[in-house]
Amino acid sequence: MRELYYGEAIREAVRQEMRADERVYVVGEDVGTYGGVYGISKGLFEEFGDKRVKNTPISEISIVGEAIGASLNGLRPVAEMQFSDFITTAMSTLFDAAAPFYFRIGANLPFVLRCPFGGGQRIGPYHSKCPEAWMFHTPGLKIVAPSTPYDAKGLLIAAIRDPDPVIYFEHKKLYYELKGEVPEESYEVPLGKASIVREGSDITIVSYGWMVHLAREAAKLLEKEGISLEIVDLRSLCPLDEETMLASFKKTNKIIFLHEAWLRGGVGAELLSIICEKAFDYLAAPPIRIGAKNTPVPYSPLLEDDYLPSVQDILEAARKLKSA
């Protein structure tokens, strides 16, 4: 297999699905000749034309509204938010119209909302947030957050083919910094299936997105100290693979939840409650959550590095659990 950047894998997934299914089209701000703010749709306008690669006004509510209307009429839109931060301006349409639509009407809405998310890019509080907990709290939305180019392609293809609204969180830091093996052919990575990306025996760490790579880095350092870290990459937040997470925890009896989003009210809190409700008797030490500090995302590189979870945070948490 050849290697692709994370961003290239996303583009290939969209291109292959557009070639295979004429119902699939791209819609969003500057996705046409400009190719999107991160270049993900570059080349698609030239291949498919303006009817299948559509620019919109700067109006996130209209992007989500079009995705709903188009999917109701038999199309499969792949809509892009330039930055996931601005999904807030479309919340009513997404939460009150799209999410409960099947429950109210009995009709599917097969659209994907691509949402670049996350920090580490030194672009401050308006372009760096991780808003997945808002979606995670809302019934009717599926949520994925790939950490590798392989998963980025496979999960996006699965999301485009899915009959329900899928929020596809892609980390901006990974676009052109991370390469990995990606098959040329079309394939799906099933929604709702986590992956054990590193086996270990002492501590389980559960994560997704960019943070999986911090966990990998920490695991290599901890191995030198005789601490074996097992890494569970959730890949999908909804549907959630509780079975894989619980099985890993029952093996190690100690667990860390790691996400880039704010710690308070984050996905990790829900995962911790699942452990306490369904596997309390297996706990050998109090679970630990690692997340961003409860402040807006700073512009300053020094402040942003302090704000974000770090490898050092993981090392300290693992050492604490090992000695417990």
CATH of the domain at 222: 3.40.50.920
Q: Which residue has the tokens 């004429």?
A: 22
Please report which confidence band the pLDDT of residue 234 belongs to, taking 50, 70 and 90 as the band edges.
Answer: very high
- One domain, residues 118 and 201: no
Residue 251 tokens read as 């093996």
Domain end position, chosen among 182, 203, 222: 182
Do 175 and 212 belong to one domain?
A: no
Under the banding of pLDDT at 50, 70 and 90, the label for residue 179 is very high
Q: Read off the pLDDT band of 68 (50, 70, 90).
A: very high
Residue 9 covered by a domain:
yes
Per-residue burial over 222-257, b if 16 or more Cβ lie within 10 Å, else e, is: beeeebbbbbbbbbbbbebbeebbbebbeebbbbbb
Q: Is residue 271 part of a domain?
A: yes
Section 292-302 average pLDDT: 96
Domain boundary residue, one of 126, 155, 182:
182
**Active-site residue (options: 127, 171, 213, 259):** 127
Number of domains in the chain: 2
pLDDT band at 117 (very low <50, low <70, confident <90, very high): very high
For residue 32, the model assigns a pLDDT of 96
Residue numbers of the domain that contains 100? 2-182
Asked which of 131, 151, 182 is the last residue of a domain, the reply is 182
Q: What percent of the chain has pLDDT over 70?
A: 100
Mean pLDDT (whole number) for 100-129: 96
Judgement on whether residues 206 and 117 belong to the same structural domain of the protein: no
Residue that has been written with the tokens 């054990």 in this structure = 196
Q: Is the same domain home to 283 and 214?
A: yes
CA distance 213 to 151: 14
Kindly tell me the burial class for residue 51, based on how many C-beta atoms sit within 10 Å of its own C-beta (0-12, 13-18, 19 or more).
exposed
Which pTM does this prediction carry? Answer: 0.97
CATH number of the domain encompassing residue 51: 3.40.50.970
Q: Is 127 a catalytic residue?
A: yes
Which pLDDT value is given to residue 69? 97
At 7-42, the pLDDT tens digits run 999 999 999 999 999 999 999 999 999 999 999 999
What burial class does residue 263 get, using C-beta atoms within 10 Å of its C-beta: 0-12 exposed, 13-18 middle, 19+ buried?
Answer: middle
